[in-house]
Structure 1
C-alpha cells in the first residue's frame, strides 16, 4: 500500500519541517508502506507521483498526508487536497497555525496583498478541517482551539522537532557587546511581539544592554522606528536573515534570549534556543511549547508578554548556580523533541490509517 506525501519546496518553517519529517520517516524501521512524494521531486524521482495517479488509481493509496496547512488557491497543494476529497481518499492534515488568526495578523502587519490572498482560506478552513480523517496540530493549545472553533473532534497532538545540529557545540563563539547581551530570532511580524521586546528594553533603563534581532518580516521598518523613538537605536542590532551556523554561534554566545510572542502555535525558535543557549531562555506563555513544559513538569522561564514583564526580565539577576541549573533543564527538555521520537508518532498515525483501509 502507498501513502501520498505532500513534499513542499517553499522556504518557510512549515515546509522545512515537512522535508525534515520525510527524511526522518523514510529511515524508520517500523514503516511498512510505500511513501510517494507529490509533487515530483528531483531528489527522490523514483518515489514521486502525480495527480493522475491519485485520480485514476486512488485504490492504491491508503491516504494523503497534507504536511502543510490548507490554502485555497490554484496551487498544487490545493489541487492535491481537492482531488483527495473528490476521490474519497483519507486525508491526514497538518494544521501548523490557525488560518483565521494568521489572516487577521496579516491585517495588523499591514500586508494587504497577503491579507487578500488569505481571505478564501479564511472562509473555507472549517471545510478543510472537517474533510480530514486526522488533523495533526503541534500543541495542546492548538488542539483546544481547533476543537472549540471549528467543532472538529479528530485532532491529535504531535509536537515539532529539531535535528541533532542544535545539540552539538558551536565551532566558535562571537564576542558580543552588551551587559547583558540579549537575543531574539524569528519572523518580524505582529504576532511575534518584537515591538514589546524593544519597548521592554527601553523601559528597563539598561543602557549597557544590547539586543540582537535575527530575522526578516513585514515589521522590520516599524521596529527600527520604535527603537529610534525610544532612543535606543544603538542598543538594538538588526542582523537580518542569517545562516543556521551563524545562528548557532549567536545562541551559544549571548547571555540570554527572549521570545515575546502574542500568538505562537509551537515555536521552533524557542526549542532551538533551549538546545543551544548557555544562558536562560525567557519565552512567552502564549507559545504552544509551554503546554509541553507544564505537562512534563519542567520549571522553565515563561512570562506574560507585556512591556513591563520584559523590562523586569532584563533588569533581573541570577546566580551562576541558578543559570547552570536552568540551562541543564532547558537542554534536557529539548532532548525529548528529536526527529527520531516525533517521526515514530507519525508512523503510528499511518498505521492506524492502514488498518482502516
Structure 2
C-alpha cells in the first residue's frame, strides 16, 4: 500500500490548525482539531459524509470562520484574513469554469482580476497549461472538453497563482473510475514537481492511500488518527479506522498477556491469537482483533491443533474479483472474509459447504480499541 511517488521537492507553505472548532447553533460540526500539513506535503482529510472534513477545509480557505481556534500558514496567523489574502489555490468538485470563456481565458481570469502585467500573465498561463498537459487547448471552450480536461483546466487555474497551498475538495468525484485513477497519479506527480503543500478532502479511502503523505481520519468532527498512508492501513488506531480504511475481520477478544513485544489474546470461542503489536491493555481487558482479508492463507479441512491465529468454518460463498477470489467462512458469531490471490487458489478452490481453515501471522494480527 505504498504511494506511487514520495514528495521530495519542498517549498510550499506549512499549514497549522490549533484547537479549531466550528459550531452551527447547537450543532458542533468540528471540535478541537489540531493538525499540521508540513511544507510540500500532501495531507488527506478522510472520513464519511458529515464528519466535518469539508468544513475544516473551508475554514483553512477562509470561506468559513472558526468558532474558536487558530489557523496559521508558515507560522503566521491567517484566521481572520479574507480568502484573497491567504495565497491559496482551490479546486472543488464543481469545477465552476466560465462556459463563455476559452481555456486560456479561464486560466488567466484570476490573474487579470489581480492586475497582473500582460507579459507575466501570458508566461504564467503558458506554464500552467504545460504542467497540466493542456498546451494546444487554449482556444477550446469548456463544453468541447472531456471531464478530465475540464478538471485539468480547473487545476491550471488553481496553480497559475503560484500558491503556497493547494486545497482540493472531492476533486475527482465527477470522473469515471479509470479516469479518476489516472488523474490521481497525475495530480500526485504535479504536486511533487511543484513542491505544493496540498490538503485534500475525500471520502474515498483508496484515493487517500494513493495521493497522501499523511492521512487524517475524521469522525464526528474530531481527528481519529493522523499517520502515514501505510501506517493508517497497517496500524489503525481504532475499530472505526480499521473498518473505514479497507476491509477487516473483527474478532471480539480479551488480552491474556503482553510481554517480550508480543501480545496474546483469546477469542470468545476459545481461539488464541498472537500479535506483534504492542498495546497498553492489561491482562483480562477486552480488545478487538482485526485481520485484513489479504493477510490470510487458506487451507482445506480443520486446523491441526495448538496453532495460534487460526480460525475455521464452512465456506458460505465465493466471489471472483479478477486478481483475487473472496471467500466467506461461516465462523461462530461472524462471517470471516478472506482474499486469495488467483495464483494461490490451487487445483481445488474453496466451494460453498466445504470446510476450510484461515491462518495468518502475528505481524498481521491487529489489535484495535473498541468503538
Task: Please say whether Structure 1 and Structure 2 have the same fold, judged by a TM-score greater than 0.5.
Answer: no
Higher Cα radius of gyration: 2
Which has more helix, going by share of residues?
1
Using structure 1 for the length normalisation, give the TM-score.
Answer: 0.29
Which has more strand, going by share of residues?
2
